[in-house]
Amino acid sequence: MNKFEILKTYFGYDSFREGQELLIDAILNGQDVLGIMPTGAGKSICYQVPALLLPGVTLVISPLISLMKDQVQALNQAGIHAAYINSSLSETQISKALQLAAEGRYKIIYVAPERLETYEFLQFAKAVELSMLTVDEAHCISQWGQDFRPSYLKIVQFIRQLSKRPIISAFTATATEAVKDDIACVLGLSYPRITVTGFDRKNLYFSVETPKKKDTYVLHYISEHSGDSGIVYCATRKNVEAVYEMLLEAGVPVTKYHAGLGNGERKQNQEDFIYDRKPVMVATNAFGMGIDKSNVRYVIHYNMPQSLENYYQEAGRAGRDGEPSECILLYSPQDLMINRFLLESKEQNSEFGEDELKTIRERDEERLRTMSYYCMTRNCLREYILHYFGEAGSSHCGNCSNCQKEFEEIDVTEEAKKIAACVRELRQRYGINVIVGTLLGENKAKLREYHVSDYQSYGSLREQTEAGIKEIIRQMMMEDILTQTKDKYSLLKLTAKAKELIEGLITIQIKKPKEDPQAKDALRNISVKQRKSDILNTRGLELFDTLRELRTEIAREESIPPYLIFSDKTLTDMCVKIPFTREEMLGVSGIGENKYKKYGERFISRILDFTGKRKEKLYFGELEEAVSGTEMKTTRKAAKAVKSEFYITPQQAQEFPYKERYLLPELAAALSESRNPDTMKKITGAEIFRYLESRDYVTEKRVDGRWKKIISEKGAEAGLFLAPRISKTGTEYEDVYYDEKAQRMIVELYVK
Ligand code: ADP
Ligand code: ZN
């Protein structure tokens, strides 16, 4: 097989993405490589494809246990033999894995860096043919990086001890020059092929909002995106608890994560999220390291984070599958205060001296300021981010909230000159509030104390508002005409560039949004890149939901996260292409031979059932358009909005086909049967289950790596019982059945 055949057969993709082919070719030529690519760009393929083509074994060094497990599961899903070795395994398991590896059973082995030191592992590495050593998250080797891991330095010693030096490939998402040089140097890469692919994540929509009530905004947004998976980040545990309670109350399938929860609860909640049992996560920034969930459709920041680095990393957890996703930051001026407080109360490492602490504090303050400018800028948000990370973006991306708002430019050069004059006249000894008060000609006790009314500037911008002047000052800071000192008092100072303003060499403009909400909506509808499933019509969306349910069903049977079976993108492509045969199914993006063998027929049979074996067109527009998924005519929102919540009439309840026993999905399907699908949403087994769970009839726990349903006493009384069931893949497991009494109770719930 060649690299293209491997990509198609194992991963189900037709072409390589930017940068991938180049790195793969270099590796296959025996060259070391360093790939710098943002999250979601597809780093794994860059070493997994050559690993299959090289004669021996590829070792992948990875710092996070959870990530290793995920990657290995994904590879095994694709029919590639892989294993991991880390401290989550027992000694016996490790020996067993090494023995199988020595027999050549695995092409790819993931290990934690600590493992490289052990005698047993080194013996193994010397004995097998090591074709390549891959260093994932390679920035961990750099002391300049945000998360330096001393254990990464062991990689270098390890390589030295090998009898033959393998090809070395390193990958990271961190782009700064210092880190890049460090990686190449410390790892001793020899004439490496280095590629840096752009940091722009085109599928992410960025927006900053300043809603009056954040809670209302969040609740509204989440209910409009029900069924989607998303993360809400809050600055404090207290906020997490409050937002979580609010959403729970409103019936959202939500879970939470912060450092104040016990280990067990954190683990359980994280799994609930990953397995889509509870697709909405409310968390502090403690959540997310090593989370590889590909179908996160939105990341909302309830509070402004402390730095743009943090923001881009957290927001970047949206849309790893490349599907359009949204990153929304809810800003209020209070956020700045919360963050200052958090920074001040941050535990400082006692190894630092007074001077170092001061530098750290200043740097933190600087980062915070950059972040708050992001919230206030009227220019393209994407360009702001890319510029910060040292990349030139276009000044208009068309896919952020600022690019979609209409602004008018207002010249404020004269006002800016008066502000600069005031700062100068007051000898740069005051903070922003005194300056603004002086310009406004205010008569406050504090201002009287400073005798500001003696100055010429006093009242020189009397006709302006406080907010108006502050906005101009902000603009002057962004344009580097004014700066604030980094100490506690934040005095306003002029920079060298201020001279140019005073001499009339430059002009200053600010942008004000045009208040025309209709224009904004219209604009949004045409220019926002819609997610792939948005191209589906009402029936298409229904097929999508049906396939999504099947995916969940299989995920439960096999105890793997749903996104490891098929991504949302693959399901959408199925709804567009409606495959009936093996050939047609293999033409769907993300379906390779192995995935077809495992799941193809089940999905085909579900599609045949749904369509009644007739090919239908389930998307808007032309196929070309549907497949490339660009501009759209109607949004998913619009299609969904017209449907009512599910209910049945008393008459329908009486005629319901009660049976001796039902499984929940069957019962939900029988219930949904009676509605008009064009006007009413259907009810799913998962929804009913969640309701019963919230009322303590039944619950679900992971036991020995499998989901197990547990019926409470109350549930047993109501008519729930366990009985064996055989999955389509042949494994036997227990599932919950509902007797007639329980069926009646459930049906009652939906009578209106
Ligand atoms: P990274 O490690 O860079 O964050 P991943 O390797 O996890 O990114 O890949 C992100 C997603 O992109 C995965 O779902 C992967 O299957 C998908 N992907 C990678 N390469 C391609 C490709 N050539 N075509 C389509 N999808 C791809
Ligand atoms: Zn933009």
Residue 523 confidence (pLDDT)? 38
Burial bucket for residue 498 (CB in 10 Å: 0-12, 13-18, 19+): buried
Ligand 1 atom, smallest distance to 74 CA: 16
**Ligand of minimum distance to the alpha carbon of 394:** 2
Ligand 1 atom, smallest distance to 17 CA: 23
Could you tell me the distance, in angstroms and rounded to a whole number, from the CA of residue 321 to the centre of ligand 1? Answer: 7
Residue 723: its H or E element: strand 720-726
Q: At what angle do helices 381-388 and 308-315 cross, to 10 degrees?
A: 120
Ligand 1 atom, smallest distance to 136 CA: 2
To test ligand 1's pocket by mutation, which of 17, 134, 595, 628 has the most ligand atoms within 8 angstroms of CB?
A: 17
Tell me how far apart the alpha carbons of residues 311 and 201 are, in angstroms, rounded to a whole number. Answer: 14
* Of 595, 661, 599, nearest in space to 78 by CA: 595
Nearest CA to ligand 1 atom 27: 42
Nearest CA to ligand 1 atom 24: 13
320 CB near ligand 1 (under 6 Å): yes
Could you tell me the distance, in angstroms and rounded to a whole number, from the CA of residue 205 to the centre of ligand 2? Answer: 9
Check the CA dihedral 735-736-739-745 and report its sign: negative
CA angle 565, 567, 569 (to 5 degrees): 145
Residue 203 tokens read as 């599928």
Could you tell me the distance, in angstroms and rounded to a whole number, from the CA of residue 163 to the centre of ligand 1? Answer: 34
Residue type, 383: E
Nearest CA to ligand 1 atom 17: 42
Residue type, 185: C
For 748, other C-beta atoms within 10 Å of its C-beta total 11
Ligand 1 atom, smallest distance to 567 CA: 14
Nearest CA to ligand 1 atom 9: 42
What are the phi and psi torsion angles at 319 (to 5°)?
Answer: 60, 40
Could you tell me the distance, in angstroms and rounded to a whole number, from the CA of residue 381 to the centre of ligand 2? Answer: 5
* Of 399, 395, 373, 377, nearest in space to 386 by CA: 395
215 in Cβ contact with 332 (< 8 Å): no
Sequence-distant (6+) residues with CB within 8 A of 459 are 439, 440, 441
The SS3 of residue 40 is coil
**Ligand of minimum distance to the alpha carbon of 592:** 1
Tell me how far apart the alpha carbons of residues 689 and 695 are, in angstroms, rounded to a whole number. Answer: 10
The SS3 of residue 182 is helix
Check the CA dihedral 233-236-237-238 and report its sign: negative
Residue 633 confidence (pLDDT)? 31
The SS3 of residue 491 is strand
294 CB near ligand 1 (under 6 Å): yes
Residue type, 745: M
22 in Cβ contact with 49 (< 8 Å): no
**Ligand of minimum distance to the alpha carbon of 36:** 1
112 in Cβ contact with 63 (< 8 Å): yes
134 in Cβ contact with 170 (< 8 Å): yes
The SS3 of residue 616 is coil
Could you tell me the distance, in angstroms and rounded to a whole number, from the CA of residue 430 to the centre of ligand 1? Answer: 52
3-state percent breakdown (helix, strand, coil) of the chain, nearest 5:
45, 15, 35
Q: Where do runs of H (alpha helix) occur along 529-676? A: 538-558, 568-577, 582-586, 593-595, 601-611, 623-628, 636-641, 650-654, 664-672
Give the strand pairing for 254-257 and 280-283.
parallel
Tell me how far apart the alpha carbons of residues 375 and 377 are, in angstroms, rounded to a whole number. Answer: 6
Phi-psi map region of 372: left, alpha, beta (phi>0 left; psi -120 to 50 alpha): alpha
Could you tell me the distance, in angstroms and rounded to a whole number, from the CA of residue 210 to the centre of ligand 2? Answer: 17
44 CB near ligand 1 (under 6 Å): yes
Check the CA dihedral 681-685-690-691 and report its sign: positive
50 CB near ligand 1 (under 6 Å): no
**Ligand of minimum distance to the alpha carbon of 379:** 2
Residue 527 confidence (pLDDT)? 34
**Ligand of minimum distance to the alpha carbon of 387:** 2
Nearest CA to ligand 1 atom 19: 42
Residue 143 tokens read as 């002391």
51 in Cβ contact with 76 (< 8 Å): no
Q: Which residues pair with 35 in a beta bridge?
A: 171, 195
549 in Cβ contact with 684 (< 8 Å): yes
Burial call 501-531: b when 16+ CB within 10 Å, e when fewer: beeeeeebebbeeeeeeeebeebebeebbbb
Residue 178: its H or E element: helix 177-186
Q: Which strands form 732-738's sheet, in the order they lie side by side?
A: 662-663, 732-738, 720-726
Tell me how far apart the alpha carbons of residues 171 and 745 are, in angstroms, rounded to a whole number. Answer: 55
Ligand 1 atom, smallest distance to 44 CA: 6
Tell me how far apart the alpha carbons of residues 664 and 685 are, in angstroms, rounded to a whole number. Answer: 5
39 CB near ligand 1 (under 6 Å): yes
* Of 526, 294, 399, nearest in space to 534 by CA: 526
* Cα Dmax for the chain: 92
Q: At what angle do helices 119-127 and 91-102 cross, to 10 degrees?
A: 10
Residue located via tokens 């990953």: 274
Q: Which residues pair with 59 in a beta bridge?
A: 109, 133
* Of 142, 150, 139, 151, nearest in space to 114 by CA: 151
Tell me how far apart the alpha carbons of residues 118 and 109 are, in angstroms, rounded to a whole number. Answer: 16
Ligand 1 atom, smallest distance to 37 CA: 3
Check the CA dihedral 534-560-24-154 and report its sign: positive
To test ligand 1's pocket by mutation, which of 45, 136, 313 has the most ligand atoms within 8 angstroms of CB?
A: 45
**Ligand of minimum distance to the alpha carbon of 396:** 2
Residue type, 317: R
17 CB near ligand 1 (under 6 Å): yes
What are the phi and psi torsion angles at 132 (to 5°)?
Answer: -145, 145
Tell me how far apart the alpha carbons of residues 676 and 661 are, in angstroms, rounded to a whole number. Answer: 26
16 CB near ligand 1 (under 6 Å): yes
Residue type, 326: E
Could you tell me the distance, in angstroms and rounded to a whole number, from the CA of residue 401 to the centre of ligand 2? Answer: 7
339 in Cβ contact with 311 (< 8 Å): no
**What secondary structure letter does DSSP report for 431?**
B
Residue type, 537: N
**What secondary structure letter does DSSP report for 682?**
-
Could you tell me the distance, in angstroms and rounded to a whole number, from the CA of residue 330 to the centre of ligand 2? Answer: 17
Tell me how far apart the alpha carbons of residues 670 and 648 are, in angstroms, rounded to a whole number. Answer: 11
Ligand 1 atom, smallest distance to 294 CA: 14
Could you tell me the distance, in angstroms and rounded to a whole number, from the CA of residue 518 to the centre of ligand 2? Answer: 19
Residue type, 713: E
* Of 410, 638, 407, nearest in space to 520 by CA: 407
Q: How many whole angstroms from its chain centre is CA 547? A: 23
Tell me how far apart the alpha carbons of residues 417 and 481 are, in angstroms, rounded to a whole number. Answer: 11
Residue located via tokens 């009936």: 580
What are the phi and psi torsion angles at 382 (to 5°)?
Answer: -65, -40
Residue 67 tokens read as 């990530």
Distances, alpha carbon 260 to alpha carbons 238, 240, 283, 287, in Å: 10, 11, 11, 12
For residue 551, the number of C-alpha atoms closer than 13 Å in the C-beta half-sphere is 23
Tell me how far apart the alpha carbons of residues 153 and 164 are, in angstroms, rounded to a whole number. Answer: 19
Nearest CA to ligand 1 atom 20: 42
> Mean pLDDT for each consecutive 10-residue tract of the chain (752 residues)?
94 90 96 88 94 96 84 92 92 92 93 92 93 93 71 91 94 79 89 88 92 91 90 95 94 93 92 92 87 90 91 91 92 86 69 69 82 90 87 82 83 94 93 93 89 91 89 87 80 91 88 58 40 75 91 87 89 93 93 93 94 86 54 36 76 91 90 82 84 86 76 93 79 87 92 86
